[in-house]
Each structure stands twice: as C-alpha cells, then as structure tokens.
Structure 1
Amino acid sequence: MAPPSTADAAASALWAIFDEAGVEGFVHARDVDDADGDREVAFRADAPVIVASVRKIAVAVAYARQAAAGALDRAARHTITAANREGGGIGTDSCRHDVTLSTRDLAFFMLSMSDNAATDKLMEILGTDRVRAVAAELGCPRLPVGRYRELWDPVWEELGLDAEGDIDAQLDRVSEDRIRGLSMLDPTRSASSTPREITSMLTAIWRDRAGPAEACAEVRELMSHQLSVHRLVAGFDGDVRVVAKNGSLWGVLNEAAVVEYPDGGRYTVAVFLRTPVLGGRNPAADAAIGRAARTAVDHLRRPSVQTTFQETA
C-alpha cells in the first residue's frame, strides 16, 4: 500500500505507524456526541475485516436487551460443560471440570477475559438467530455470530482435521500457507465487518440507542472490566477512561473502544490489524494499535476535523 498524501496529517501518521510495525491497518474513529456524524478519522474504514472476539460486543447487547425486558434472568444458573469448551483458551474454556455461572457472569467472563466457553454457553441461551438480528440492527449484518463449534468446524473440515481428535497436535502439522489461505481469515469469503460498522455499534451503545437505556448501561459496565490493557488502552494516559474489547486470530489483532476524557469528550475508535506473524507475541503490533488509536482520537479533538483515507490494495 502506497503512503497517503502528506496533506492528510492523520492518514500519513497512521500509515507510518503501521509501516513501522510491519502490519496492515484499518481504522475508524468518531466523536460519540457529534450529532451530524461528520467528525471522523477514517483509514481504510470501509474495508472488510476479520473481527475475531470483537464480535462479542453484539452478543452482550443481545443478552442485555433480554435481561432488561425481563425475558432472561440474570441470576439463573447455567453449567459450562465439555460441549462448550474448546480447550487451551482463557477462563472457563481451560477448566477441566464443569463450571456453573449466572447468566450475568457468563456475559462478564465473555467481555472481561474473552472467555470463549462462556460466550458459547451464552449463545446457546440466546440463540443464534436473536444475536444475528441484533447485530444486523446495529449495522453489522455480516458479523460472525454462531456458537464456537459452528464457527470452527468448517475450519477443521477445510484443513482436513478430525474435529474429535487432538486439534493442537494436528495443527502442528499444517503449514502456515494453508492456514493463511483459510476462508475464515479472508473477510471477502467469510463473516466480517468494517471498522466503521464497529464504531457505529459502539456509538449506539454509548448514546443509549442500541436498546433500552438499562441494557446499554449494562453493556458499558460489562465492557469496562476487560483485563487486557496492552493494546489500545496502553495508548492513553491514566486519566483517560478506555472501555474496550479486543480480538485475536491467526494473523489478526484488533481492538475497539470508547475513549472518555476528563473534559467530557467521548470517542469511539476501532483498530484492526493484519500481521505477518500468525500467532504468539507481537509487541510491535500491539503497540501500533494503541498508537493508532491515540493518533486518531488526538486528531478528532482538534477543531474542524473530517479525515478520510481509503485504500483497498
């Protein structure tokens, strides 16, 4: 991708950040309280991206709507079993024995530590059709919303793996090229979204338009407990409140957030990366997410801002 015109300061700065980190970047940021929606920074903001666990925000909205309507009991107990666990993950996904949690705490584990098993159980309770309808209503019609087995079984089939066998051992024998060629990692061939769609969803939540005010407030509160602070959150000073949800997959690192300043300014920002490294630690890419988010928000906090840079290559 060629660098943008130096006349566009934000786009040039974002391009430099991604180039230095050796990644492809996609960014959208907007002022939550801008009624006209004109104050934005858009860098490949309408390109399709793989969202990974950022999808869990829509699941949380579906849960909170049902709870606020009295159709779902927050305190009801649900047991996460082996049928919900993929193994090797975070939270209850790595538990060796069944775990029982309240409905609310399933949502809490889903957003605080991105617990896949808790998400799977919550999806089982809510139903895929309901979550899909909520995602579409919030402007993310292609967002992946299935239970984890529904999302991953086609991957194992594409790679020719035995879903009932030791997946990790089988993956060790799969080449990086085959993994990179997976439909799941190609946003033009699989469920996806765009940075602009994700910031639209977050803006609706923060403006109490994603459902009843009670539901939106609950999603905001649940999102405030994310344990991970090494990507987007790290780009901001300690007096700035950042409420975020991240996501990771092979060669994909993401984070979407709402950034709240002491002076009352509120900004949604989503940063999506494609990386040359499929897995493991990538400090340069993690730091790039925080730097890109800070660059976009700093630009929004200047007067008379409207920046767009689109590049599809």
Structure 2
Amino acid sequence: MGSVPHRSAAMTPDAIEAGFVRAGCDVAMHVLDLTTASEVAIHADHPVVLASVFKIFVALEFYAQVAAGRLDPAERLDLDPADLTAGPTGISSFSDPVRISLRDLARQMMSVSDNAATDLLLARVGRENVNARLGVCGCPSTVVDCDLATMFDEMAVEIGFAGYAELAAARSGNLGPEAFAQSNDRALVDGATAFDPMRTNRSTPRDITRLLRAAWRDEAAPPQACAALREVMGQQVSTRLGRFLPDGASIAAKTGSLTGRVRNEAGVITHADGRAFAVAVFTRAHAPFEQVAAIEAEIGKGAAAAIEALRSMG
C-alpha cells in the first residue's frame, strides 16, 4: 500500500474525474461517509456493468438464507473442474475433482473471485431471491440478469465463436492469427451484451453504496448474515481501492473486471478512528488492455482523494 501525496486543499469531483481520464478511462463513482452521509458523486446514477462486483449480492443472499435456516453452510458438493464455469482463478482452474462446502464456495467467490463457485451458489440461492433482496434494500437500478456461464457464452457467440471455450482458445492464439484478431476486435467486443449496462448484470454507483451502507448497519439481512458478508469481503486477496490506505485503515471489498475494458471495485474503507466510507468505482477503458496499471492505480487514488475531501468537511 502506498500513500497519497498531501494536498493543501481537497480535490473536487471534477479534478478526481480528470485523473481517471488522464489514466485512460471513463469513471462513474460514489463515495458515502457512513457517519455523516456526506458524499462525493461522479456520474453516480449512471448505469454501469457490474462484472464480478455482483458477487457481493450472491454472498449476501447466501448468508441470509443460512441465517434463516434454509441452507446448511457445511453441505458439501463433489465437483469436477471440467464441468464448471470458466475462470482464471478458483475451482475451474483446478486439475482434480474436489469436495467443498457451500460456506467455502462463498469464501472462494469473494476472496479470489471464483466464477465457478459464483454460479453454483447463484443457482442454489436463486437469482429471483437475489433480486428481491436488492429491491428490499432500496436498489431499484440493480439487477442480476444472468449467471456468468450464460454471460460468457453469449459474449462469445456475439463475437463470432461457438462458445466461451472457443473464444478463450482463440484469445490464447491456439486457433490461428485470424481467430485471435477476431476475438479481440474492438467493435465486436464493445457490441456484446456483456458490455451494455442496460442488458447485463447492472447497477449504479449510488445503488451499490446504498447496499453497502445497509450491510454495514445490519439492515440488508439478519445481523449475522451482514456480519458474515463483512468478514468475507475483508478476505479479498487483491484490491485496487486499497492501494493507498492510510496507516491503520482496513478495507472490505470486491473487484470486478471484464475483457480489458471494465475494471471496478466496491467496498467499505474504515479508517483507524473508526470512520467508514462506502466506495463504488466503475471504470471503462478508452482502449482495451491499455494503460492497465494506470487505471488500476487511479481507482485507489481517486477513492483516497474522495475520502480525503469528505474528511475535510468535518
């Protein structure tokens, strides 16, 4: 973790947004002081593509159903990685079959963004129940439209491949230079449903901070469910938001990424004095797979600058 250089005056939302533009992306962002309800808003009501940030919702509903006695968190599943949703991390990257509990699937989903674990849990808790809880939590612009396997396969077909496995093979170069070029064609990728915030899993930054506030106040689900969500969000292995935390601060969050265009993160940053801030940052790169390091660093810098501005208000 680094530190943000001291500024003589708090940055304005326009100045924060300008930093993202220089880094090579557009941004929609909302930062909410959970103590004072003061906010920093940058296109906070614009629809955004969630990518893996939606895993927060799946985890919340899972823990809520456990708290209600509808699911046994110790229930074990026997899984063959070859049969599961693809992903760069988690069970689908394993070499051998595995037996794992529902509770540990949830931990895999949140700590290393396991796509296979996500789809298994979403099927178990029910997409309709996830969306119903989002409605109760006052998130009218937030919808889980499909699971990840559906999203990946649909995207592959729209780009011109039989399914996600073929798209992945093309992107790895195994199907030749023509297929490789097609798999990364900017117009085809950007035209895919997965990148349209009106046709895929979607939300707004303000909806996300509203949900996080409810979870941190034990209002989104039974208190033990909210506590479990907060704990597992604190176990995420990598973070963009947390790159510039001040000494003594902690973060509980979930990242999201999609095909070189989308990089997001949402979570709660708590400073050493106990003051906490819900943060939701959603970015879309101007060009796929370019300025990756700059964009990821700016997510942390922008969040830190927004929190500094809110703290300066008193």
| Cross-structure match for 1:55 | 54
| SS at 2:248 equivalent | coil
The one-letter code sitting in structure 1 at the alignment partner of 2:243 is A
Contact 1:131 1:145 in 2 (8 A): no
Counterpart CA distance in 1 for 2:220 and 2:292 is 34
Aligned pairs for 1:221-232 (under 5 A) are: 221-229=231-239, 231-232=240-241
- 1:186: how far off? 1.8
- 1:165: how far off? 5.2
Change beyond 3 A, Cα 1:164–1:44: closer
Query: RMSD across aligned C-alpha pairs, in angstroms?
Result: 2.1
| Cross-structure match for 2:166 | 166
Question: Which residue of the other structure, out of 21, 37, 57, is the alignment partner of 2:23?
Answer: 21
Contact 1:27 1:195 in 2 (8 A): yes
- 1:140: how far off? 5.0
Counterpart CA distance in 1 for 2:247 and 2:51 is 27
Question: Which residue of the other structure, out of 248, 261, 265, is the alignment partner of 1:255?
Answer: 265
- Which is further off, 291-300 or 133-142? 133-142
Counterpart CA distance in 2 for 1:164 and 1:188 is 22
Counterpart CA distance in 1 for 2:291 and 2:80 is 30
- 1:146: how far off? 2.8
| Cross-structure match for 2:104 | 105
Change beyond 3 A, Cα 1:80–1:237: farther
Counterpart CA distance in 1 for 2:291 and 2:100 is 31
The one-letter code sitting in structure 1 at the alignment partner of 2:112 is M
Change beyond 3 A, Cα 1:51–1:88: closer
| Cross-structure match for 1:241 | 250
The one-letter code sitting in structure 1 at the alignment partner of 2:256 is G
Counterpart CA distance in 1 for 2:281 and 2:252 is 14
TM-score (norm 2): 0.87
| SS at 2:230 equivalent | helix
Contact 1:249 1:279 in 2 (8 A): no
Counterpart CA distance in 2 for 1:130 and 1:279 is 35
Contact 1:32 1:207 in 2 (8 A): no
Change beyond 3 A, Cα 1:97–1:28: same
- 1:281: how far off? 7.3
The one-letter code sitting in structure 2 at the alignment partner of 1:252 is V
The one-letter code sitting in structure 2 at the alignment partner of 1:98 is P
| SS at 1:301 equivalent | helix
| Cross-structure match for 1:117 | 116
Establish whether residue 269 from structure 1 lines up as the match of residue 268 from structure 2. no
| SS at 1:79 equivalent | strand
Establish whether residue 301 from structure 1 lines up as the match of residue 284 from structure 2. no
Gaps in structure 1 of 5+ consecutive residues: 1-6, 305-313
| Cross-structure match for 1:287 | 297
Change beyond 3 A, Cα 1:151–1:88: closer
The one-letter code sitting in structure 1 at the alignment partner of 2:208 is I
| Cross-structure match for 1:31 | 33
| Cross-structure match for 1:12 | 14
Q: How many residues align?
A: 294
Change beyond 3 A, Cα 1:149–1:216: same
- 1:219: how far off? 0.3
The one-letter code sitting in structure 2 at the alignment partner of 1:161 is F
The one-letter code sitting in structure 2 at the alignment partner of 1:246 is T
Establish whether residue 143 from structure 1 lines up as the match of residue 143 from structure 2. yes
Gaps in structure 2 of 5+ consecutive residues: 1-8, 172-179
Change beyond 3 A, Cα 1:69–1:77: same
Change beyond 3 A, Cα 1:84–1:292: farther
Contact 1:21 1:284 in 2 (8 A): yes
- Which is further off, 278-287 or 266-275? 278-287
**Identical counterparts, % of pairs:** 37
TM-score (norm 1): 0.87
The one-letter code sitting in structure 2 at the alignment partner of 1:241 is S
Per-residue Cα deviation, 1:199-238 (whole angstroms, up to 9, x for no partner) = 1111110010001111100000011000003x11002124
Structure 1 residue ranges, 4+ long, deviating more than 6 angstroms after superposition: none
Contact 1:80 1:118 in 2 (8 A): no
Counterpart CA distance in 2 for 1:256 and 1:239 is 20
Counterpart CA distance in 1 for 2:306 and 2:271 is 14
| Cross-structure match for 2:152 | 152
